[in-house]
Amino acid sequence: MKKQCFVFSLLLVLVLAACSKDDLQSADKVDPSEPQITYLPIEIGDSLIIKGFNTCYALNVYKGTLPELVVKESGYDKSYLYYIHKAMVKVEEKEDKMLFPVTDMRMGYSTPEMTDIGNYYSSIQDRNGRIFLEIYTYLIHLTKEQGGEDMDIWYPCSPKELEWTAFEIERKNN
């Protein structure tokens, strides 16, 4: 009986070791970032350049070919292990100003399905009445070519290279 328990325990350990998800979990971690905001004055308000991101995390891991639009644009036409990441920047609006983001077609994709290039945004208000502009985009992180070498390629850019643009305009009081 002791032999059977030992053999069973050994098999269980081997199965658990074989099913390890270390390869799948290692690439979905992106170091936190604090965006840097630069104000550029223009006639009707200010233009903001926001470098970096507040959060970036993997939505899912995939094995296979990349979405059709990505293959067409990037030339990465093989089978890969890759992650789709959602990157976001959050900026507080000033009380007397509104922020309007500019869509940058080089920055990422506006949907996790990678069907449209660009970004999307929303304005939210917290319990204290502060208003925030949140801008999102989706990026691809290629970590391995199937049957090949490990890789560390972000497409269309790394989260650290994200550069968001918004216009700040005076609020009109009625």
Q: Which residues does 168 contact at the CB level (< 8 Å), separation at least 6?
A: 39, 45, 46, 47, 48, 93, 94, 97, 98, 99
Tell whether the torsion through CA atoms of 50, 55, 61 and 67 is positive or negative.
Answer: negative
User: What residue ranges in the chain does DSSP mark as E strands?
Assistant: 36-42, 45-51, 55-64, 80-92, 97-102, 120-125, 131-145, 150-155, 163-170
- What is residue 58's three-state secondary structure? strand
Query: What is the DSSP-derived secondary structure letter of residue 67?
Result: P
Give the per-residue pLDDT at 4: 58
Mode of pairing for the β-strands spanning 150-155 and 97-102: unpaired
Predicted TM-score of the model (pTM): 0.78
Give the per-residue pLDDT at 15: 41
Give the per-residue pLDDT at 103: 82
Tell whether the torsion through CA atoms of 166, 84, 65 and 74 is positive or negative.
Answer: positive
Give the per-residue pLDDT at 158: 93
Query: What is the DSSP-derived secondary structure letter of residue 69?
Result: H
Give the per-residue pLDDT at 21: 44
Give the per-residue pLDDT at 2: 62
Give the per-residue pLDDT at 47: 87
Give the per-residue pLDDT at 13: 43
- Residue where the block lists tokens 């922020």: 99
Q: Digits of tens for pLDDT over the chain (174 positions)? A: 666 544 445 444 444 444 444 444 445 678 878 899 998 887 666 788 999 999 999 999 999 999 999 999 999 999 999 999 999 999 999 888 888 888 877 789 999 999 888 888 998 999 998 999 999 999 999 999 988 889 999 999 999 999 999 988 888 765
Give the per-residue pLDDT at 12: 42
Give the per-residue pLDDT at 24: 46
Mode of pairing for the β-strands spanning 120-125 and 97-102: unpaired
Give the per-residue pLDDT at 72: 93
Q: What is the CA radius of gyration of the chain?
A: 22
Query: What is the DSSP-derived secondary structure letter of residue 93?
Result: P
